[in-house]
Amino acid sequence: MPHRFPLPPGSMIGVLGGGQLGRMLALAAARLGFDVTVLEPEPDSPASRVAALTLEAPYDDREALKTLAATCDVVTFEFENVPAAVVQQLETLGALAAPGKRPLAIAQDRVDEKEFFRSLGVATADFAAIAGPADIRAALPRLGGRALLKTRREGYDGKGQTWVEGEADAEAAWARVGKKPAILEARVPFVRELSVIAARSRNGEIACYPVGENRHEHGILRTTHAPARLSAATKAEVEAIARKTLEALDYVGVIGVELFELEDGALRVNEFAPRVHNSGHWTLDGCEVDQFEQHVRAVAGWPLGKTQALAEVTMTNLIGSEANDWKALAADPSARVWLYGKREARKGRKMGHVNRLKPFGEGDA
Amino acid sequence: MPHRFPLPPGSMIGVLGGGQLGRMLALAAARLGFDVTVLEPEPDSPASRVAALTLEAPYDDREALKTLAATCDVVTFEFENVPAAVVQQLETLGALAAPGKRPLAIAQDRVDEKEFFRSLGVATADFAAIAGPADIRAALPRLGGRALLKTRREGYDGKGQTWVEGEADAEAAWARVGKKPAILEARVPFVRELSVIAARSRNGEIACYPVGENRHEHGILRTTHAPARLSAATKAEVEAIARKTLEALDYVGVIGVELFELEDGALRVNEFAPRVHNSGHWTLDGCEVDQFEQHVRAVAGWPLGKTQALAEVTMTNLIGSEANDWKALAADPSARVWLYGKREARKGRKMGHVNRLKPFGEGDA
C-alpha cells in the first residue's frame, strides 16, 4: 500500500494481537473513521469482535502477512512479543510498521533494554547479563548479595522471574527461570513505582500524559493513580526520560515507560513497553484524547491530541474472578466500567478495569 | 433467548440499522463487554465494521429476524422507521425489543405523536390531520393562514415537508408532499429549539441529561450547545415532559425530545425520537456516561449512569463535504473529532461531528 500521511479516514490500520489493548485501539480507530484488521491466532478474541476484519492465523503466517501488507495503510501491534522477524517480513512485503523494528527488538531483550537506557545516560538498576549459574555467582556480590533473575526475553506480569537468595541459590534459580539467557538485577529500594505514557508523531512532535503512580500485587498492576503528586523536578525528569527515549528510537506511536522513585527522589528506569500500556487506561476517562486515540493519531500521521488530565483518576484492574462483580460495578455511579469481552475469567487474567474520577480541588482542602 | 436482567457481559445485543448511531451504540456496547449483531440492508455500513456480526438483509428478512431472535439477548434500533411489523415479528419469534413497539408506532405517525403529547397535557403546535386538499383549506384559517404540511409518516432532516402559503396553495402543497396522509401544523413563533436526551431503565429509573440548545440549517441539525442556559422553571418543565413521556410509553432506553421555546418561555413539544439522538452527541465528550452507553445500560437492564455535564460542549455536525476538512480538524486541539466511516460524502449526509469543550467558569466573568 502507498503510505501518504496523514492517513485519511477510511484507511485501514492493521493490529497484531487481538487482546484488550487491540480492542481498545480498534474502538479508538473507529471513532476517527478508520477501519481495523486484526491478526490474532486465537479464535473469538476481544479485538476481533470490534474489528472490520480478523485474520485468525499465527503471527508468522505468510498469507496473513501478505494480506496485511496489501490492505493496511499502516500496521501496529498491541504487545511487544511479536517476533521481530514478523515485522521484518511485513516490511519486506511493503507494509509500514509503527513503532518500528528497533523499539520492538530492544524491548524484547531486558539486557539490550537496560544497555539502551544506559547509553542515553538514564539510570537503571545495576544488572549483569547471565548465561549460566556461574555468571550469577560472579555478579551477585556486586549486586548486593540478593538479586532478581529474569529471562532476557518474554515473561510479563511477574512471570519468568525469581529472586536469587544468595550464591548457594544460583543453580536452583537458573533452573527456576528455565535455564534461559537471563538478566540479574540489583534490588532497587524504591518508595513507589511511576509510569509515563508518552507519544511521538511522525513529525517528531512529542506529548506526555501526566505521570501515573502504580501499585502492583503478585506482580500484576493493581491500580494507577494519576496525576501522581510529584515535585516539579521529578516531573521534569520523567518527561525528559520519555522524550530522550522516543527520540533515540525515532519512535512513532505511544510508549509506556516504568520508573522507580527512590527515597531521595532519584529515578531508576525499569522498562519501556513499545505500545499502549495498562497504566495508561486512566486516560480513557481522564483525558479528552486517550492513549488509544493518541496511538492511532501517531501511527496514522495525524497531529497528537491534548494530554491534560480533566480530573484525578484511580484506575483499578479487574483481575480474574473480580470481573464477576460486574453487577455491583454497574450500579456504582463512581465507577466507569470497562470490560474486555474475555469469555473466561482465568486466575490472574486481566478482565477489565474501572476508572474512578475525582474533580480537581475536591477534598484538597 | 431467555431474558434475564441485568444482562451479563458477553451478552449479544441486536441493533436494527447500521448507520452512525448503530456504530456508536456498538462502540459503547463493546466498552461494557457486550457483543453486537447489526441487521442492515446496505453493504459496508458504518456499524458493520465495529460489530461482532452483521446480517446484510432487508429489515423484514425472515431468516435474519430468526437469527436475531435466536442469538440476541435484546434487540434495539438506531432509527425510528423500522416497520412496526418487524418488531412484531421479532417478538413473535421470541425476541425482546427495546424500546418496544408502541413508542416506535407513535413516533412513526406525526398525528398520533401530537395526539399522544396532548393526551399527556403537553402543549404542541396546533395541528390538523390531512387526507386531501379540502382538509388543508378547511384547517388553514384556524392554523393562521400559513402552515407547515408534513407527511404523517417518514421524512427526516426537513424532507417530506412544505409550507402552505394560503388556501390557493392547498392543491399544489398536497402534491408537493406526494399526496400522502399528512399533518398541517401552525407556525410556532419560537425563539430557540431545545432538546433533552433522557433515559429510562428496566426498573423505571429515569435520568435526564442537561438540556441542549439546537441550531438547524436547511432543515438539518447544525449545532447543539449544552448545557443550554435556561431558567430553573424551564429546565424543570423540560424534564417533567421527558419524564411523563417515558412513563406513559413504559419506555426502556434513551429518547430524544425536541421542543420549541417561545418568547415568553412557554414550551411546545415538536417531536420525540425513540432512540439515541444527534442532539445528544455532545455527551460523548461532555459526560462520563454518554447517551450511547446509557442506551446500552437501559436495554441491558443495567442501572443508568451519571448524566452530569463535565464541561460546556458545542457539537457541530460535519455535513457532506465538510468532512473533507478532516486534516484541519485533526490538527485543532480544541476539536474532539468523530467520523462515521461513511465512504461517500454526499450532499446533506451526516459524515461526522466535532465536540468543542469549555470548562465551566471559563469566560463566564
Kindly identify which residue of chain B lies nearest to residue A27, measuring between CA atoms: B27
Q: Does B4 touch chain A (CB under 8 A)?
A: no
Q: Does B9 touch chain A (CB under 8 A)?
A: yes
Q: What are the start-end ranges of the H helices in chain A?
A: 20-31, 62-71, 84-92, 101-107, 110-119, 133-139, 170-176, 232-248, 283-286, 291-299, 326-330
Give pLDDT tens digits along chain B (365 positions).
Answer: 556 899 999 999 999 999 999 999 999 999 999 999 999 999 999 999 999 999 999 999 999 999 999 999 999 999 888 888 899 999 999 999 999 999 999 999 999 999 999 999 999 999 999 999 999 999 999 999 999 999 999 876 667 899 999 999 999 999 999 999 999 999 999 999 999 999 999 999 999 999 999 999 988 999 999 999 999 999 999 999 999 999 999 999 999 999 999 999 999 999 999 999 999 999 999 999 999 999 999 999 999 999 999 999 999 999 999 999 999 999 999 999 999 999 999 999 999 999 999 988 655 43
**Chain B positions in Cβ-Cβ contact with residue A337 (cut-off 8 Å):** 31-32
**Chain A positions in Cβ-Cβ contact with residue B10 (cut-off 8 Å):** 341, 343
Angle, CA B16 vertex, CA B323 and CA B300 arms, to 5° = 105
The reply to whether residue A34 touches residue B341, judged by beta carbons under 8 angstroms, is yes
Q: Does B343 touch chain A (CB under 8 A)?
A: yes
The reply to whether residue B341 touches residue A31, judged by beta carbons under 8 angstroms, is no
Which residue, among B37, B306, B339, would best test binding to A if mutated, counting the most A CBs under 10 Å from its CB?
Answer: B339
**Chain A positions in Cβ-Cβ contact with residue B49 (cut-off 8 Å):** 30, 35, 51-52
Give the pLDDT band (50/70/90) at residue A2: low
Smallest Cα distance from B92 to chain A, Å: 28
Smallest Cα distance from A342 to chain B, Å: 8
Annotate A215-249 with b (16+ C-beta within 10 A) or e (fewer): eeeeebbebbbbbbebeeebbebbbebbeebbebb
Q: Which residues pair with B77 in a beta bridge?
A: B16
| pLDDT (tens digit per residue) in A110-155 | 999 999 999 999 999 999 999 999 999 999 999 999 999 999 998 7
C-alpha span between B208 and B240 (Å, rounded): 10
C-alpha dihedral sign at B334, B340, B346, B348: negative
- Reported pTM: 0.95
Q: Does B49 touch chain A (CB under 8 A)?
A: yes
**Chain B positions in Cβ-Cβ contact with residue A50 (cut-off 8 Å):** 26-27, 30, 50-52
Q: Does A345 touch chain B (CB under 8 A)?
A: no
| pLDDT (tens digit per residue) in A302-344 | 999 999 999 999 999 999 999 999 999 999 999 999 999 999 9
Q: Could you report the predicted ipTM of this complex, rounded to two decimals?
A: 0.94
The reply to whether residue B333 touches residue A27, judged by beta carbons under 8 angstroms, is no
CB A302 within 8 A of CB A323: no
Q: Which residues pair with B53 in a beta bridge?
A: B37
